Amino acid sequence: MIEFYLNDQPVRTSEAPASALLDFVRYHEQLKGTKIGCREGDCGACTVLVGELNADGQTVNYQSMTSCLTPLGNAHGKHIVTVEGINAAGSQLTPVQQAIVDEGGSQCGFCTVGFVMSLTGHSLSSAPATEQSTIAAIDGNICRCTGYKSLERAATKLTAELEQRPAENALTWLSEKQFVPSYFANIPAQLAKLRPAAANAVAVPSATTAANTAHSNGSSAVSTSPNGHAQNQNDHGHANAAPFTNALLGGGTDLLVQRLEELREQPGVRLIFDQPGRRGIRHETTGRVVLGAATTASQLLESDLMRSLLPNLPQYLKLVSSTPIRNMGTVAGNFINGSPIGDLTIMFLALGASITLLDAVGTTRELSLPDLYLGYKKLAKAADEQVIEISFPAPLAGDFFHFEKVSKRTHLDIASVNSAAWLQVENGIIQAARVSAGGVGPVPLYLARTSEFLQGRELTAETVSAANEVMQSEISPISDVRGTSDYKRLLLRQLLWAHFLQLAPDLEFVNL
């Protein structure tokens, strides 16, 4: 039984946990304000807010998510808010709604509710509202009519209003200003009541029917990557995946795109998104940073620890998908999805990450991330094994880390080619290097030979050019909808240069 609050109403349902929250909201609860645009998290028309009780038990953290990819089971214990749940009585508009109307930010209206929900979620956020953060809140919402300028004007207006929002008792203020109805004040207490139940109800039989078909990744899949779900489009010899025998479902951002129908009918799908111990980022005394497998891209982006170690990480993560998808997609999901262009995978390959796998009998083992990938969507992982943790050596103060991604559209798109580089340079000599690249082979590539080549060499343009030669021999891009193989080769050369120009802007870029 899945229990949660839908707007101001408690809901108990025995619908399939792996069905889409969108379908539940629209066709089960007949709340038709939430629209269907693409069912793959790429348009934002179905955006809802998902509120989770904070550890304090007093406040709720609301995040925007695309309900098309939110497994219904992930709503368990939470507050799901659709537009019907924020509408004021009568025909009164909330400040978010009013700003959109006033600025002409809605034309055909089909995407509009998604914008309203994203901006309402932003209003409920505890972070200060800035012009940039307000726009970022709607970076997952696509509008075909307005050209966005009117929505930008609405966002500007809203930002100004939110500047008045107090840090303390923000919800009271938001309720007074009619951003949200007054029932929101009761939600923390209601969710707290659900909490003990929440821990048990979806708690899954721990080591279920272990289908020990071993080493075929298709039979057990962890979902959720904040990007990369399109690798099934890019012709790396994809075939129909094997049927699930032991399905694990995380944030849903890949599996609900690829295999919703199948998952919905599948008994015993295990939900790991809210499984205890699967979140959190810690810096261990060994010098390693350890992440829970269900850590989302948003949690990475917001983590003070990660930001202190990798100051540019937020700007890299802004290139990964969109806000609602980052709120859902998990790091392990991105790894296990095995997309050759998984952005997080590419970053973590250069960070030197390993994963900890847990099997059905409780045995764990470590695997270095490059060793996970055997071939296109083939993983060195048994069917009953799941990722529980990810770790990487914390970069040292002088270390250089950089991520590059080029796609047709800069944001909310899948890379044509992406690449990450970690370098240690002392006195003009590259002491150590790890370079990775996606979109240039059947798997996300750790460029072992390029990395090795760089080690011990001088930081010069000649070194970069020579490294490129090595790199070109290490990749095997194919032509597909994301670009021709020639383009991908050229682009990766450019991105290698981009890493080095970022590190040493004075290097003389050499064209060939």
Partner 1 sequence: MNHLDPHRHVRGESQYLDDVPVQQGTLYAAVFESPLAHGVLRSLDFGAALAAPGVARVLTAADIPGINQIGGIVADEPLLAEGHVHFRGQPVALVLARTEAQAHAALKLIKVEIDPLPIITDPRVAAAQGEFIVPPRTFKIGDSAAAWAACAHVFEGVAENGGQEHLYIETQGAYAFPTEMGGVRMISSTQGPTAVQRHTAVVLGLGMHQVEVDVTRLGGGFGGKEDQATPWGALAALGAFITKKPVKLVLDRMADMRMTGKRHPYSSDFKIGFDADLKIVAYEVEFYQNAGAAADLSPAVMERTLFHATNAYFVPNVTATAFSCRTNLPPNTAFRGFGGPQGMFVIESALAKAAEELSVPTYELQRRNLLHEGDLFSYRQAAEMCHARQAWDTAVSEFDLAGIRVEVERFNQTNKLKKKGFAVMPICFGISFTKTPMNQTRALVHIYSDGSVGISTGAVEMGQGVNTKIAQVAAHTLGISINRIKIETTNTTRVANTSPSAASATADLNGKATEMACAALRERLLRHAETEYTLNYEGLEIQGEEVLAAGIPTETTWDKLVSSAFWKRVALTENAHYATPDLHFDATVNQGHPFAYHVYGTALTTVTVDCLRGTYTVDALQIAHDFGQSFNEIIDRGQIEGGAVQGIGWMTMEEVAYNDEGRLLSNSLNSYKIPDIYAAPKVLDVHFLDTPGHPKAILRSKAVGEPPLMYGIGTYFALRDAVRAFQGHTSLPFSAPMTPEKVLVSLYPEFVRASENTLLTSG
Choose which of 396, 409, 427, 506 interacts with partner 1 (CB under 8 A): 409
Question: Which residue stretch of 80-88, 184-192, 209-217, 269-277 sits at the interface with partner 1 (rule: CB under 8 A)?
Answer: 80-88
Q: Which long-range contacts (CB under 8 A, 24 or more apart) does 232-239 make?
A: 232/258, 233/480, 233/481, 234/340, 234/341, 234/439, 234/478, 234/480, 234/481, 234/482, 235/478, 235/480, 235/481, 236/340, 236/376, 236/377, 236/442, 236/478, 237/376, 237/442, 238/376, 238/377
Q: Does 506 bind partner 1 (CB under 8 A)?
A: no
208 binds partner 1 (CB under 8 A): no
φ and ψ at residue 63, rounded to 5 degrees: -130, 145
Question: Residue 468, interface with partner 1 (CB under 8 A)?
Answer: no
Roughly what angle, to the nearest 10 degrees, separates helices 95-102 and 149-162?
A: 140
Question: CB 478 → partner 1: shortest distance, Å?
Answer: 8
Tokens 């696509």 sit at which residue?
Answer: 142
In the region spanning residues 281 to 340, those forming contacts with partner 1, defined by CB under 8 A, are: none
Q: How far is the CB of 146 from partner 1 (least distance, A)?
A: 5
The amino acid occupying position 49 is L
Q: Which of 357, 412, 443, 471 binds partner 1 (CB under 8 A)?
A: 412
Q: Does 465 bind partner 1 (CB under 8 A)?
A: no
227 or 436: whose CB is closer to partner 1? Answer: 227
Range in contact with partner 1 (rule: CB under 8 A) among 69-77, 137-145, 285-293, 342-350: 137-145
**Distances from the Cα of 334 to the Cα of 8, 244, 297, 431, angstroms:** 34, 18, 10, 30
> Cβ closer to partner 1: 386 or 436?
436
Q: What minimum distance in Å lies between the beta carbon of 6 and partner 1?
A: 14
161 touches partner 1 by CB under 8 A = no
Interface with partner 1 in residues 378-407 (CB under 8 A) = 404, 406-407
CA 171 to chain centroid, in Å, comes to: 27
Backbone angles phi, psi at 426, to 5 degrees: -130, 130
Which of 77, 438, 442, 483 binds partner 1 (CB under 8 A)? It is 483
CA distance linking residue 391 with residue 368, whole number of Å: 9
Burial 70-80 (b: 16+ CB within 10 A, else e): bbbbbbbbbbb
Asked if residue 228 lies in contact with residue 341, where contact means CB atoms within 8 angstroms, the answer is yes
Q: Is 190 in the site for partner 1 (CB under 8 A)?
A: no
Q: Is 6 in the site for partner 1 (CB under 8 A)?
A: no
Residues contacting partner 1: total by CB under 8 A: 87
> Interface with partner 1 includes 138 (CB under 8 A)?
yes
Tokens of 373: 């990938």
Return the structure tokens found at 115. 């914008």
- Cβ atoms of residues 22 and 34 within 8 Å: yes
In what helix (H) or strand (E) does residue 133 lie, and over which residues does it extend? helix 131-137
Which one among 15, 28, 33, 242 touches partner 1, defined by CB under 8 A?
Answer: 33
Instruction: Give the residue among 272, 271, 292 at the shortest CA–CA distance from 280.
Output: 292
Query: CB of 92: closest distance to partner 1 in angstroms?
Result: 9
Least distance between partner 1 and beta carbon 413 (Å): 6
Q: CB-wise, 501 or 504, nearer to partner 1?
A: 501
Whose CA is closest to 41, among 304, 260, 305?
Answer: 260
* 202 near partner 1 (CB under 8 A): no
User: Least separation, in Å, of the C-beta of 37 and partner 1?
Assistant: 5
The least CB distance from residue 243 to partner 1, in Å, is 14
* 3-state helix/strand/coil string of 324-390: HHHHHCEHHHHHHHCCCCCHHHHHHHHCCCEEEEECCCCCEEEEEHHHHEEECCEECCCCCCEEEEE
Lookup result for tokens 């990007």: 227
Which of 36, 197, 290, 507 forms a contact with partner 1 (CB under 8 A)? Answer: 36
Q: Specify the stretch interacting with partner 1 by CB under 8 A; choose among 283-291, 341-349, 393-401, 492-500.
A: 492-500
80 in contact with partner 1 (CB under 8 A): no
Question: Mask 89-128, x = binds partner 1 (CB under 8 A)?
Answer: --x-x--xx--xxxxxxxxxxxxxx--x------------
CB 372, min distance to partner 1, A: 23
Of 71-79, 149-157, 165-173, 434-442, the segment contacting partner 1 by CB under 8 A is 149-157
Q: How many CA atoms does the CB half-sphere of 464 hold within 13 Å?
A: 25
Q: How far is the CB of 173 from partner 1 (least distance, A)?
A: 21
d(CA 258, CA 3): 26
Q: State the first-to-last Cα distance of the chain, in angstroms, to the nearest integer.
A: 62
Mark the segment that binds partner 1 (CB under 8 A) among 161-169, 284-292, 355-363, 484-492: 484-492
Could you tell me which stretch among 296-304, 336-344, 430-438, 476-484 binds partner 1 (CB under 8 A)? 476-484
Q: Which of 175, 232 has the CB closer to partner 1?
A: 232
